[in-house]
Amino acid sequence: MLIDKKAISPTNTRLSAFSEKMILRMLYFEIFSYPLTLKEIIRYLSLPTSQVDQLKQELTKLCQDGLLYFIDGHYTTKHRPDWIRLRKEANKRAKQCAGKAQRRASFIAKFPFVRAVFFSGTFAKGLMYADSDVDFFIVTKPERLWVSRTLLVLYKKIFLFNSRKYFCVNYFVDEEHLSISEKNLFTATEIATLKPAVGEKQYQSFCNANPWVKSFYKNYKSKDNSIAAPEKSGLKDRLESFMGGELGEKLDDLCYRFTLRFWRKKFSWMDDDTFRLALKSKKHLSKHHPSNYQIRVLRKYNYAIEEFEKLHSVKLRRLTLVD
């Protein structure tokens, strides 16, 4: 459920609930220097058509009052024309590399026990900055996640010289454990913006397994765009058959234990809580975010809210999801 942490501004400056929601969404995306268009604000607020005129009126008033800026078709809380330029460049770059990214996704899907491949991160949002990676969210067969992950990582290290640019495989779940346990704005946004590349059935199942996302994005639902089916591969079928029984189970356990020991040694500077969040590792789940990106984003978001409140003498209502 949602807890409404409402506070009254000491200066009695008030914003409507409607305006608060808009600003909170904008502040979140501005962490990534990503100003929103009207169409995106409508989508991320999950607004029905009947409320679009009200939204436009609220946006006009906020701009007149100096709380927002309207620059070249984008709304921001700060006067940052450079954000619009960076965004347009990143949008263009993402379109240019879309074909290559899809081919990589199809290639990843040919690895043993991979059942679905989704784009995640900035690329899934239609962005590709100069230093961005193409992040992949991968669904595997149960009890073979770590075999699949190990094969993909070995391929990246040996044949791609450990390049992450178009081969960043940092999140794996298996088909029987599709629900994401970390329920906050960061994970909700990442899930809501996932872009399926291969595996329509698994993508639909993934969306159905995470209905809590609607607490942040009310109209969250699976995307209707065409999703490629996994290509047939004789080599993949033979390898899966070879590792399909007890041998595969033992190999998966071995890969899991080896990777966990390696990470414990490599990231020994992390305390247990940080390790469990940044490098979440279970038989059915692998998350490799050693920079603890989620925590950093949420901290920046809270700071951005506090900065906005202080600058404009307002208080914004935080909505927090409680498990």
Measured from the Cβ of residue 242, the count of other Cβ atoms closer than 10 Å reads: 11
Mean pLDDT of 145-158: 96
pLDDT, greater one: 24 or 323: 24
Tell the burial category of 192 from Cβ atoms under 10 Å away from its Cβ (0-12, 13-18, 19+).
buried
Band of residue 69 on the pLDDT scale cut at 50, 70, 90: very high
Mean pLDDT of 199-203: 93
pLDDT-wise least confident of 40-49, 92-101, 110-119, 310-319: 310-319
Mean pLDDT of 172-199: 95
Lookup: tokens for 185: 């704005």
Mean pLDDT of 187-200: 95
Measured from the Cβ of residue 241, the count of other Cβ atoms closer than 10 Å reads: 11
Flag whether pLDDT at 9 surpasses 70.
no
Residue 249 pLDDT? 96
Reported CATH class of domain 2-88+297-317: mainly alpha
Residue 11 pLDDT? 38
Flag whether pLDDT at 6 surpasses 50.
no
List, for residues 249-287, the tens digit of each pLDDT value: 999 999 999 999 999 999 999 999 889 989 999 999 999
Flag whether pLDDT at 31 surpasses 50.
yes
CA–CA distance from 302 to each of 77, 243, 274 (Å)? 15, 47, 19
Percent of the chain with pLDDT over 90: 74
Spans of all domains in the chain: 2-88+297-317, 98-291
Query: Per residue in 41-54, is it b (16+ CB within 10 Å) or e — as a string?
Result: bbebbebeeeeeee
- Does pTM top 0.85 for this prediction? yes
Mean pLDDT of all residues belonging to the chain: 90
At 182, the amino acid letter reads: E
Residue 225 pLDDT? 63
